[in-house]
Chain A
């Protein structure tokens, strides 16, 4: 894992997500705002390519912590710091563990992985933040946030193949080329 280019890329993606990413957000009356989580695509990409599980979890932690530092509203009046980093680390480690069982270069598999990753990570985050919310969160509000997370996952999954293709083009900058038989990956 090349950590410095990875952190630079994280900065760029985060900057895009907090500024230009607003263009991709749309509002619905039933669910509220729905937008993609671009960092999730980067997280899944890294988890699919790194050599060691601990690298995947560390990269996930860094991505989640960066997102944690920029999210300031959502479930309650207080948004605590930490649950996103924990859930991203867990999510990346999970993707790393299951990747050998998947045809990971297929577009549909990638999209499905991103969808599952987003759902798991955001369900954990929404649940943790709802529990930590100082003013309490109602069940209806919690249910709506879960639906919003589901929609976010689906939206991100739709964008994932494009994002992953783009990241694959700069793969050598952030992940060291694997040695030996697994170099080609499973197809």
Chain B
């Protein structure tokens, strides 16, 4: 059963050659590592599908909502009823507004459609060590995947209590989960938004709560003034978000004047060359005042998608020449 090496090539020699090769590949950097890692995904990806399905199912089940007390449940029910009422009123207003907007766009507007291809993908593997937050996804360059392409969740949206008939299903891409950091022929490496190396220019969308209004500082006629946040002055706050290497994102140096609160949303910019749409990335969970910079706060953001149970995704590839990003760092 043991493999014997030819007489002249002793094991010591072989070891010396292999160790030297390691030193050489270390100095070659991404020129050696990217193609070899892409090749390594071929033997792992086919058999990784079923265990990854089990892992996602388990994580999805284990990461469920925590237990709540009877009082909390009652309060939530009351709040739900109130919100449902508000939602109905808002949806009526929205339909009216959307009708007007459609007419206006049709008559005077520019075409705002985002020419892109949505490539359905599936997570078939993960990072073996906990230092990085990446996943291996099903389709690679052969299906049109490109480095830098944004990756979103893929969800089936339905409120039908019974089994769906074919043709009735609606698929939605509700939140950003990461970007493609390298692409091989049949698989690609998805860098999650929580990875330390993930960075994106994004925006904060502040939610307006009539029961708990917030004040923001604005500049009017070269003078600062405090105002209540309203739909009219609720501009999106441009920020730079980075993965924290664990389970969230960090947004540094946000002005206290913007009065960002837990519950606000982090969304993508509409002028992002790879994804010309504003979709959710996560929700602000913590606002921490920076001791070094008194006028600024640091935001901790929890991703909207359950990244541990991530399974089905869309890779968004802009149609045409589109933006180009290098995979060699």
Chain A residues with a Cβ under 8 A of chain B? 1-5, 11, 14-23, 25, 27-29, 31-35, 37, 39, 52, 54-55, 57-58, 61, 65-67, 69-83, 85-86, 89, 126, 128, 132, 134-135, 141, 144-145, 148, 152, 176
- Specify which chain B residues have a CB less than 8 angstroms from the CB of A126 in the assembled complex: 131
Instruction: Known contacts A18-B126, A58-B15, A80-B26; decide if A72 and B181 are in contact (CB<8 Å).
Output: yes
Task: Determine the distance from Cα of A83 to Cα of B128 in the docked complex, in whole angstroms.
Answer: 16
Contacting A72 at CB < 8 Å: which of B25, B37, B130, B196? B37
| Residues of chain B in range 114-151 having any CB-CB distance to chain A below 8 Å | 124-134, 136
A4 touches B128 (CB 8 A): no
- Specify which chain A residues have a CB less than 8 angstroms from the CB of B27 in the assembled complex: 80
Which 5 interchain pairs have the tightest Cβ spacing?
A73-B132, A74-B131, A82-B22, A19-B51, A69-B40
Question: Could you list some 17 contacts between A and B, CB below 8 A?
Answer: A3-B3, A4-B3, A15-B47, A37-B128, A55-B11, A58-B14, A65-B22, A70-B40, A70-B128, A73-B191, A73-B197, A75-B131, A78-B329, A89-B19, A145-B131, A148-B130, A148-B131
- Specify which chain A residues have a CB less than 8 angstroms from the CB of B32 in the assembled complex: 80-81
A35 touches B130 (CB 8 A): yes
- Specify which chain B residues have a CB less than 8 angstroms from the CB of A82 in the assembled complex: 21-26
What residue of chain B has the Cβ atom nearest to residue A129's Cβ? B131
Contacting A61 at CB < 8 Å: which of B15, B43, B125, B328? B15
- Specify which chain B residues have a CB less than 8 angstroms from the CB of A37 in the assembled complex: 128-129
Task: Determine the distance from Cα of A1 to Cα of B21 in the docked complex, in whole angstroms.
Answer: 23
Residue B238 at the chain A interface, CB threshold 8 Å = no
User: In the complex, what's the smallest C-beta–C-beta distance from A187 to chain B, in angstroms?
Assistant: 27
Instruction: Known contacts A27-B247, A145-B131; decide if A70 and B19 are in contact (CB<8 Å).
Output: no
A89 touches B15 (CB 8 A): yes
Residue in B22, B32, B131 with the greatest tally of chain A CB atoms within 10 Å: B131
B127 touches A86 (CB 8 A): no
B134 touches A33 (CB 8 A): no
A32 touches B245 (CB 8 A): yes
- Specify which chain B residues have a CB less than 8 angstroms from the CB of A83 in the assembled complex: 22, 26
A11 touches B128 (CB 8 A): no
User: In the complex, what's the smallest C-beta–C-beta distance from A183 to chain B, in angstroms?
Assistant: 18
- Specify which chain A residues have a CB less than 8 angstroms from the CB of B22 in the assembled complex: 61, 65, 81-83, 85-86
Instruction: Known contacts A81-B32, A82-B26; decide if A61 and B3 are in contact (CB<8 Å).
Output: no
Report the interface size class on chain B: 35 or more
What residue of chain A has the Cβ atom nearest to residue B182's Cβ? A72
Instruction: Known contacts A81-B26, A148-B131; decide if A20 and B40 are in contact (CB<8 Å).
Output: no
A11 touches B29 (CB 8 A): no
User: In the complex, what's the smallest C-beta–C-beta distance from A114 to chain B, in angstroms?
Assistant: 15
Task: Determine the distance from Cα of A11 to Cα of B125 in the docked complex, in whole angstroms.
Answer: 13
Task: Determine the distance from Cα of A70 to Cα of B127 in the docked complex, in whole angstroms.
Answer: 7
Contacting B51 at CB < 8 Å: which of A16, A33, A141, A176? A16
- Specify which chain A residues have a CB less than 8 angstroms from the CB of B204 in the assembled complex: none
Task: Determine the distance from Cα of A77 to Cα of B181 in the docked complex, in whole angstroms.
Answer: 10
Stretch from B52-60, B101-109, B254-262 contacting the other chain: B52-60
Given contacts A54-B12, A83-B26, 7 further A-B contacts (CB under 8 A): A16-B51, A19-B124, A28-B246, A32-B245, A57-B15, A70-B125, A73-B181
A71 touches B129 (CB 8 A): yes
Instruction: Known contacts A15-B47, A73-B181; decide if A1 and B2 are in contact (CB<8 Å).
Output: yes
B329 touches A134 (CB 8 A): yes
Contacting B246 at CB < 8 Å: which of A5, A27, A52, A55? A27
B29 touches A134 (CB 8 A): yes
What residue of chain A has the Cβ atom nearest to residue B309's Cβ? A22
A74 touches B129 (CB 8 A): yes
Instruction: Known contacts A19-B55, A54-B11; decide if A61 and B29 are in contact (CB<8 Å).
Output: no
